[in-house]
Structure 1
Amino acid sequence: MKNYLESDSDMYNQHVLLGDLAGDFIPVTQLRSINRMNFGNTLSISRFTVKENTFDYFRFLAYLIRAGGCAGWVILFDEFEQLMYLGIMARANAYLNAARFMSPSFGMTAAYTVFSASSNLWSELIWRQKNSDYDTVPQKLAAKERQHEIPTVREVLGSFLKDNLFLDKLSTFDVNRMLWSVREYHAQAYDWPAPVDIDRVAASLAGDKPLRTAIRSMVEYLDLQYLYDEQPDIKAGMPEEILPVKPAGDEDKLEPAIPEG
């Protein structure tokens, strides 16, 4: 960044440095050459490691968002329940990574972080009555002589308990209203008289289907009718959920169960 700001009189160097900042990295030798021209000294570059340096990009982006005049940004971590498929230490590291986005003390300013997860994450992992993560993860960290990280993990889990919001199930009326909105947007996007008989699609969707399945079914129904000018028969099916189970004698790994037959 310093070399980019210093190279305002050299359009070529400024161009390649801007590309480097955008992800089109230039060779280290070229960067050192530019630095020598700008500052007259040798550039010392420490080795990049994913674990130590990746978060710097998030902090830098947060700075740019504020510098651009925005109040901040919202970061959504979707399907956080995938944590259930990890071993204990992997989950511990995931909680510690979550803390980086939740606490301003790690340098992430002007950010509002949202974790989206299915409700069974709480009942089957974090707050279950026996061997909950609130107890087992700190114990595992202590066994690995990482006691200094235990307060951070407990703070994250405490935030999940204190700040969680369980969403009510959408009513049939709400789902139908959303499907009708999809129909209207589809008609506008393709400039065609989209069918109004969306009740056929809504009726084929059971109440336990995820909302994304309902929306995808509606879009597919409209796409097929737009392409072939006939009413398709749409049926939405969901594969049986495979929940993780802990193999006997292995405390650090969770593997998906394999259905019989």
Structure 2
Amino acid sequence: MAVFGCKAKKQLVVRKADSAVVNKPTVNPALAKITAIKSKQVLFNTFSGRAKTKLTFDGKSNDVTLNIRIQHGKKIWVSITALLGIEVARALITPDSIQVINRIQGVYIKKPFSYVYTYANREVNYLTVESLLVGNAITELLNENSKVETAASGNTTISGSLQNLVYNLLIGADFKVTRTSFANAAARQSLQVTNGQFIQADGRIIPSQISINSVVQNKSIQAELEYNRTEFNQVLEYPFSIPARFEPAN
């Protein structure tokens, strides 16, 4: 019988959308942007870099080479060499101290970290210095109270105030920091850092050019760094000792 010789056609099932209302979590665009910037921060255990540098203290400039070594969260070691690779000074910075030996004058400085405030804002801490040397955003400035504005170009401006500090960050479309500036007008303190010519180093994106300009009342320091060698997570040494013949600096 024909009726039994034909297979019944399968009926297509029409899938209807669920009529139930699903409440999607509200996304705060500003916080989402800050989270994205944090995700692009350079993470490391150790960092070493060599940078040709124009170093200016209170208007007096010198062309030097900075050899920088960082053990994250613990110490920053810097050797300053002049012509022919002769070391003229060495520094060791920790979260609670700063030591400097000046081989030209035969003197040394051994001070608490607060000595940095001679040339920098009081809001600067040890991790701030680390961040600036590898092109990271300063963590304290990436907070939920910041004003976040994104331009059509993709650049983002983050601004706000923290205690007596007014800050402004310019972030590129790639979420890397292009410029950091903050100031305390009442204390006549300001710091501006500009990053440029980003490079890839051991799988990380960092600026090869860093310009630092710090002013505290009538004192100022400028450093124009150009990295020509960078490495991450290598085993490093941080030799530092004060020669017995050296005297404390005045």
**TM-score normalized with structure 2 length:** 0.21
Between Structure 1 and Structure 2, which shows a larger proportion of strand residues?
A: 2
Q: Which structure ranks higher in relative contact order (CA pairs < 8 Å, sequence separation ≥ 6)?
A: 2
Which of the pair is proportionally richer in helix?
1
Given the two structures, how large is their TM-score scaled by the length of structure 1? 0.20
